[in-house]
Structure 1
Amino acid sequence: MIRELAADLVELIFEWGYLGIFLLMTVESSFVPFPSEIVLIPAGYLASKGDMSISMIMISALGGSMAGAYINYFLALLLGRKILRRYGKYFFIKEDALVKMDTYFKKHGHISTFIGRLVPGIRQLISIPAGLSRMNLAVFSTYTALGAGIWALILVMLGYFIGENQELIDSYLKQITIAVLMVLVLLASWYIYYQKTKRIE
């Protein structure tokens, strides 16, 4: 089923071109849980055949990722607090929890956004607390673009070099995901250590 979907996406991307990549990545980056690998790996494969440009794929993918992230960010910014103030008590979310979240994102929003964009299952959701806490838009945009860009490049390159071999893709994607998560754990550990030493000074 996944292979059939991937084949359909290759055809869709080929027909719609870079607009198709942009729209699918917008969906992937917003509320709808849609795996970016079944968009960008086929796109990378098309680039290897000379049917698409890697630079244009990256621009389209990054543009779509940012558009989806902004949808979540601004929905949370404009509506999130009103909803939580009204219904938060039913989910045990109190006003002081929002204050703590605001404080956290002012101090650590940049690293949280960057790491979140690289973690499967979280990358679509990290924009919501950023919007709720009114995270600086320029900082949010910078670190969202950085994280989304790195992940998109990994997937496009995977499709470019081994796009025809589904078994290799599955194997390498698992290995890459594990490697990325390990690097993120190291980055988070360094950041925590840095923050502690900064407080001591």
Structure 2
Amino acid sequence: MIEWVTGVVAAGGWPGVMALMFLENLFPPIPSEVIMPLAGFAAARGEMSLGLALFAGIVGTLLGNVFWYELSRAIGADRIRPLVGRYGRWFAVSEDDMRKAERTLEKYGPVALSFGRLLPGIRTIISIPAGLIRIPRHVFYLYTALGSTVWTAFLTFAGYFLEDQYDQIEGWLEPLSYVVIAGIIGTYLWHIWSTRGRRKG
């Protein structure tokens, strides 16, 4: 998988990074923890501008989150709640998850939007309740951009400054990426199983 992501980054440049980060925020097939450090490696080796790598990661993240925010805002809470109740578990989202996220956003607002970008599993889903409770667009865009910039910059600079150790890192980055993906899949399956158990109860 590392070879595939590296190939996309090498062949596609910053548009490839942007596309990967957009897809990661729609439904995370490849986590940003893999994509952005590799973009940082590429920048350190002169294959891409560091500034463009950061720009692509931030914009791709924003586009993915804006998609969910605008979609949920357009559909509205009254129409989307029954869909979540019926089909949400297949997307690792439950009504309880949505209610908790809504309460957090109503209580903490911009702070939750920013810090939510730093938490795995929360980064994308928080955009849905933000749209449902109709957080003002300028607030959503601003604080989503701030949180996304911090997270994306951290990952990109980590890859950039560790470039000298790339030969050593490459050996364990590949298995680590599979561990991350296995964790995502495991969490997803556990969520489906636990949701089914609650329904039966």
Structure 1 residues 169 and 58: CA distance shift in structure 2, 3 A: farther
* Deviation of 1:101 (Å): 7.3
Preserved CA contact (<8 Å) 2:101 2:126:
no
TM superposition shift of 1:106: 4.6
Aligned-partner residue type, residue 40 of structure 1: M
- The number of aligned residues is 164
Mapped pair 1:166 → 2:166: no
1:72 to 68, 72, 87: 68
Change in Cα spacing, 1:144 to 1:169, as seen in structure 2 (3 Å) is: farther
Q: 1:160 to 1:104 in 2, by over 3 A?
A: closer
Q: Which residue of the partner structure matches residue 128 of structure 2? A: 128
Per-residue deviation, 1:155: 0.8
| Structure 2, gaps ≥5 residues long | 89-93, 177-201
What's the CA shift for 1:168? 9.6
Superposition map of 1:79-118 within 5 A: 79-81=75-77, 82-84=79-81, 88=85, 105-118=105-118
| Corresponding residue of 1:119 | 119
Instruction: State the match for 2:53 in structure 1.
Output: 57
How far apart are 1:89 and its partner, in Å?
Answer: 9.2
Q: Does 1:16 align with 2:19?
A: no
Higher alpha-carbon deviation: 68-77 or 84-93: 84-93
- Whether the 8 Å CA contact 2:21–2:57 is kept in 1: the answer is yes
Contact 1:113 1:143 in 2 (8 A): yes
Q: Which runs of 5+ in 1 are unaligned?
A: 174-201
> Matches of 2:148 and 2:129 in 1, distance apart?
17
Give the secondary structure class of the aligned counterpart of 1:142. Answer: helix
Q: TM-score, normalising length from structure 1?
A: 0.70
TM-score by length of 2: 0.70
Q: Choose between structure 1 and 2 for higher RCO, CA contacts under 8 A separated by at least 6 residues.
A: 2
